[in-house]
Chains A and B, each alone.
Chain A
């Protein structure tokens, strides 16, 4: 436990991201008072404007590194933080903006912006852990509010958070959901995806989209064989692993294995 004389200082930092993950904290309506009671929320762009300089006991970092300025800023955050926890697919894998890693970022910029010369950006979107040491990574796009509270509670108690790295399948089986792939023939990334969402999509009759990124020791090559048997062609296999966690190594390699000769056309479309 932290000393009762001073509450630990919490900061929430934002890099290239949609804000969805840090909004999960504000979304903890019932628990927000308890969070505020346990921690001194010293820096949180979504909730306050006042910037507090100094040092932080726990920094939650959302977003990926896409600019040289941010690559420098994350080092400053690390220097100021006793514990640094990355939250969400952007911070842990590079996010949906990691799609740029498969393409020519100058072409992207020219297609999107009227004055691409105003855009100063890196060629890649990379996870925080590629830039600074990270104490704990919390997966998800967006993260689960329940898991965020667990990580904060674990930090306060000085224990390891309970966020198992097994498959989404385990969560389906725990809640008794009928497997959508076996019983309906629906393509599902659950067998290669990290648990955490509580197996939300299969409970609503959808296949898993892989929002929490690769599970421990994933075997996407074997799963792809099954997805192909369910009717996915090479192009679809290339794309199915390429969403919020496209840049996670096991998903990236598997998507690249499935013939991306058609890549330029896809990028235009």
Chain B
């Protein structure tokens, strides 16, 4: 492949892509089937991908299903997001040691391995762009995120099979990747064979693509790829009306709906943990028995915990109502004030992985006063 014109990879060509990434020194992560879900983990080749598996998702429910075809990427986003890699759940920041005259502080080594992500969905590219604003463009850039981000190679795979919980069309983030990737694939599975349209999105992507065994794409391949995205866009499981949403939420802080959702909400924090844009952390200081060493570890936190809003004298958001309202209002309204974009990319994870199936699209519709929000989509 010699130009930015789209190309076509066979299955062997895809295997070649994985091997080329490994040869470049990347740790390659991709989708794989484990514990009844499609999770992201290390992959060595096509055999690790979830061939023939798809999923059914709804509020509080996720099930793998056999598709009856050989699709390698025929699933929608699952329990993991790339946030785990770019913004890890635990990170040791520094260690201290008692010295004769006080103590010394030593920053913890942080040398993340260059990592390639295979199978990044359009909503996930959007989520990474949202976290870039938080961690790279704000007044306080996060060096840990910056290192991981600089060392990551993103291979997008356009969605062909949205889940019942997806609403990227409403959030204008998908289903087709529009940039922010190194390479983008569309899986094509039709009479012309099992193949992948390959598009280049960066210099790095071009350099890698040039080493692959690919043929130039024909008009039929391009049309087939567009058709995959159009079909996916027409099959969103959910939708969210976003017009005036910031004012809607900021002006309805005392809406009766907050009390109703608080009756159901477990304040378990699952929604914030699975959300690919939620960024909050706390730090935990530990010391050893001898009192010689101590360490500070950063870990994911959530606005659903009491400690999160604990200040001198007590917790600010004591009620579940206040905590749910904080989460949803931050995602959909105050995120604009803070970062200039929505904090929600429409991936639907918070709906599927909420144990009681609380649905952010349904909550928005209810605050709008829409009738019968469940029939949306």
A→B interface (CB under 8 Å): 1, 31, 34-35, 37-38, 149-150, 152-154, 156-157, 159, 162, 164-167, 169-170, 173-179, 181-185, 188, 190-192, 205, 216-219, 222-223, 225-226
Contacts and interface: CB of A to CB of B under 8 A. Distances in A.
B80 A223 contact: no
Given A173-B89, A222-B356, A38 B84 contact: no
B269 A167 contact: yes
A177 B37 CA distance: 10
Interface string B289-330: 111001000011010111100000000001010000000000
Given A162-B284, A226-B60, A179 B306 contact: no
A182 B264 contact: no
Contacts of B320: 217, 219
A40 B79 CA distance: 47
B248 to A, nearest CB: 26
A167 B268 CA distance: 5
Contact of A217 (B63, B89, B267, B273): B267
Contacts of B356: 191, 222-223, 225-226
B300 A178 contact: no
For chain B, which range describes its interface: under 10, 10 to 19, 20 to 34, or 35 or more residues?
35 or more
Contacts of A184: 36
Interface in B231-289: 263-270, 273-274, 284-289
Contacts of A219: 264-267, 320
Contact of B35 (A149, A167, A205): A205
Interface string B351-376: 01101110000000000000000000
B286 A150 contact: yes
Given A173-B274, A183-B37, A222-B264, A157 B79 contact: no
Contact of B270 (A35, A153, A159, A179): A179
A212 to B, nearest CB: 14
A90 B86 CA distance: 42
Contact of A178 (B35, B264, B273, B299): B35
29 contacts: A34-B290, A38-B291, A153-B286, A153-B289, A157-B291, A166-B269, A166-B304, A166-B305, A167-B268, A173-B269, A175-B89, A176-B80, A176-B89, A178-B34, A178-B79, A179-B355, A181-B355, A183-B35, A183-B63, A183-B64, A183-B79, A184-B36, A190-B355, A191-B266, A191-B355, A216-B306, A217-B267, A219-B320, A222-B264
B39 interface: yes
A38 B290 contact: yes
B268 A191 contact: yes
Given A174-B300, A223-B355, A34 B34 contact: no
Given A183-B79, A217-B320, A149 B289 contact: yes
B61 interface: yes
B90 interface: yes
A165 B269 contact: no
A31 B352 CA distance: 42
Interface in B82-134: 84, 89-90
A150 B285 CA distance: 10
A240 to B, nearest CB: 14
A182 B60 contact: yes
Interface in B22-74: 34-37, 39, 60-64
A31 B306 CA distance: 32
Contacts of A35: 289
Contacts of B286: 150, 153, 162
B267 A179 contact: no
